[in-house]
A = this chain, B = another copy of it.
Amino acid sequence: MQQQTGHTLKAFDEDIDRLRGLISEMGQLAQSAIRESMRCLIERDTEGALRVVERDKEIDRLEIETEKRVVQLIALRAPMAGDLRDAVAALKISGVVERIGDYAKNIAKRVPLLEGSSDIEPVSLLPEMARIATDMVTDVLRAFVERDAKAAVRVCERDQAVDDFYDSIFRTLLTHMMENPHNIGQSAHLLFVAKNLERVGDHATNIAEMVYYAATGDHMVEPTKKRRRKTT
């Protein structure tokens, strides 16, 4: 095995920092895609929604780019222990960010299906739920860039709020469906939108667990992890 000299060590650090930058850039695209898909949903902006769907390709491209660079990094620098863990974490985190982008795309794809339908009350809760979920993504990617295990734990703790929003919206939508059978199609789409946002919170939690592991070498203990209730 290659001995790591001061020179290769520095080169690895530079490479992994660039990788973190790339993943952070992906994360910003994914967050703004969620915000934009929610704006399009609320304002029934079908044109804008199509642009969100189109721009998801850029996130997909960045994931492929990240994977290529991680593989090159491992092949060239032969990182060991903590460095190898960092490289693997980067690979996995970019995969999760790509899926967060997919949720934004899925929300955007429902916008044309809602055209012509009237506003219903649960929609008023969705933007706030989206705001908490995207803030979790922002903060967990900052924790990743800064290798901050404590910040990662704090992100996990906020997932309960997203789950509570989801439960509330689920119940409200079901009641709305019973009272307004002609709105059932719209409500079904909004159920899935709420579910997508709940999954964004879950994925931010997953990233937080990976950041914690990469930074400490230990797995996050159960009580700080999401208390998964996903039964609705």
Where the two chains meet, the residues of A that have a C-beta atom closer than 8 Å to any C-beta of B are 1-2, 64, 67, 70-71, 74-75, 78, 80-81, 84-85, 88, 91-92, 95, 106, 109-110, 112-113, 170, 173-174, 177-178, 181-182, 184-185, 188-189, 191-192, 195, 219, 230-232
The residues of B that contact A75 with a CB separation of less than 8 Å are 1, 80-81, 84
The residues of B that contact A88 with a CB separation of less than 8 Å are 67, 70-71, 91
Complex CA–CA separation, A112 to B229 (angstroms): 13
The residues of B that contact A192 with a CB separation of less than 8 Å are 191, 195
> Are B177 and A184 in contact, with the CB atoms below 8 A?
yes
Chain multiplicity (copies): 2
Complex CA–CA separation, A95 to B98 (angstroms): 14
The residues of B that contact A92 with a CB separation of less than 8 Å are 91, 95
> Are A188 and B191 in contact, with the CB atoms below 8 A?
yes
> In angstroms, how far is the closest chain B Cβ from the Cβ of A13?
18
- What's the dominant secondary structure at chain A's contact region? helix
Query: In the complex, which residue of chain B has the Cβ closest to the Cβ of A112?
Result: B231
> In angstroms, how far is the closest chain B Cβ from the Cβ of A25?
21
Complex CA–CA separation, A45 to B90 (angstroms): 41
> Are A230 and B109 in contact, with the CB atoms below 8 A?
yes
The residues of B that contact A178 with a CB separation of less than 8 Å are 181-182, 184
Given contacts A184-B177, A195-B192, is CB(A74)–CB(B84) below 8 Å?
A: yes
Complex CA–CA separation, A182 to B174 (angstroms): 10
Complex CA–CA separation, A4 to B189 (angstroms): 55
Query: In the complex, which residue of chain B has the Cβ closest to the Cβ of A96?
Result: B95
Complex CA–CA separation, A109 to B1 (angstroms): 48
Complex CA–CA separation, A92 to B92 (angstroms): 8
> In angstroms, how far is the closest chain B Cβ from the Cβ of A225?
12
The residues of B that contact A112 with a CB separation of less than 8 Å are 231
> Are A232 and B113 in contact, with the CB atoms below 8 A?
yes
Given contacts A177-B177, A191-B191, is CB(A71)–CB(B85) below 8 Å?
A: yes
> In angstroms, how far is the closest chain B Cβ from the Cβ of A231?
5
Given contacts A113-B231, A188-B191, A230-B109, is CB(A78)–CB(B181) below 8 Å?
A: no
Complex CA–CA separation, A181 to B178 (angstroms): 5
The residues of B that contact A84 with a CB separation of less than 8 Å are 71, 74-75
Q: Give the interface centre of A109, A182, A184 by most chain B CB atoms within 10 Å.
A: A184
